[in-house]
Structure 1
Amino acid sequence: MNPAAALRQKAIDEIREADQNFSMLSEKQGLAKAFTTYAADDAIKLNDGAAPTVGFDSIRVQMSRMPANGSVLTWQALKADAAQSGELGYTFGQWMLTSKDNSGKRKTQYGVYVTVWKRQRNGQWRFVLDGGNSTPEPK
């Protein structure tokens, strides 16, 4: 493998790992912890059916307002890719949100997402754009 291809593949592997760790943190410690851990300072979070949330501080405020109803959001990347430079990439995949309705009955929602990742000065990957939308249950 030539050096440029190796650099790109390393970035793809790192982005997949960051995406997986992001989801695991969401599952174990909640959405607020996950999103504030993985958001870049200039991150944009697209919201299904609402205006985007722009900037880390705005994302932190939005996450602090999330109801503590035991909702769990997890996701799995179906595809990841990166620029030849190894500095920018994306993941695309499916998400699942489990929660309880007002009567206490468990419900599950499904969707797809795309996350754009950027390598930070310290070498860590943080998302600069994240969004998704609801879909029917996957077959």
Structure 2
Amino acid sequence: MAGHGDARPRGYRGPPGHGTANPSALVAAEIAFARMAREKGQWSAFREYADEDATMFVPEAVRARDWLKGRDDPPAPVQWQAHQVWMSCDGTLGVTRGAWQRPDGSTGYFTTIWKRQKKGDFRWVLDQGDTLAQPLAEPDMLSASVADCQRGVRGVEPDGTIVVEEQSASRAKGSGRSADGTLTWKYAVAPDRSRTISVSMRKDGGMREVLALSVAAPVAAPRAGDGGAGGQ
């Protein structure tokens, strides 16, 4: 996985004093998450790093903590590496995207949305992904993009939280944003269990979509957890 927890990731171009965003801290969380999956077990790591109200896809959207509770770790975990990072100006919300590999040789991509907690650490609030016919090409360097700050917006609240995502009881759709509103996300799951995910960030005076993903409906009964980087 590109980047290192104690240094800005290669490719980061944010100017000095650009809000309180720190993409390297998010990269460090992603590295630690993947390492725990290798060393302590896949679902153990997902439980440890899940936000209280995190959502994952199996492939229907489920409350991650409920789905993961008591679930045995597979003999060998999925492995993954982040390729891209997006972060709000105030650093309360971030998105990572990259590649994963399963022990059976299958490959795919993942997208994970991270929320900064009150103590400053990160926990994931949404994890999803899909298989790919060919491995996702590894970039020469990890790219990181920070949203433009908004004038007149104070940004992060004193407790460091973000606006709580709005989710239906069935979790068929949900959305969220950073405390300063410079990074937003939303997803929707159709009755056939296909889904769409979109991420937008503030750039050049307006909100611009930086990530738009569509995952097709499953063609056969899926294995548990096929919907994200943790699929096994």
TM-score (norm 1): 0.80
Specify the structure having the higher radius of gyration (Cα): 2
Contact 2:41–2:73, Cα closer than 8 Å, also in 1: no
Match of 2:68 among 55, 60, 67: 60
- After superposing on structure 2, the runs of 4+ consecutive aligned residues of structure 1 that deviate more than 6 Å are none
Is the aligned partner of 1:72 residue 2:77? yes
Which residue identity is paired with 1:53?
A: V
Q: Which amino acid aligns with 1:3?
A: G
- Of 99, 103, 120 in structure 1, the residue corresponding to residue 117 of structure 2 is 120
Distance 1:18 1:59, change over 3 A: farther
Distance, in Å, in 2 between the alignment partners of 1:67 and 1:19 is 19
Native 8 Å contact 2:112 2:127 kept in 1? yes
Correspondence for 2:126 among 122, 125, 129:
129
Identical residues among aligned pairs (%): 26
TM-score by length of 2: 0.49
Unpaired runs of at least 5, structure 1: 99-106
Return the structure number with greater relative CO, CA threshold 8 A, min gap 6: 1
Q: Distance in 1 between matches of 2:16 and 2:60?
A: 43
Q: What is aligned with 1:51?
A: 60
Return 5+ residue gaps in structure 2 as ranges.
1-14, 138-232
Could you tell me how far 1:40 is from its partner in structure 2? 0.4
Q: How many residues in Structure 1 have an aligned counterpart in Structure 2?
A: 122
Aligned equivalents of 2:107, 2:84: Cα separation in 1? 17
Contact 2:54 2:64 in 1 (8 A): yes
Which structure is higher in helix share? 1
Q: How much has 1:67 moved relative to structure 2?
A: 6.1
- Partners of 1:39 and 1:65 lie apart in 2 by 14
What amino acid maps onto 1:133 in structure 2?
A: D
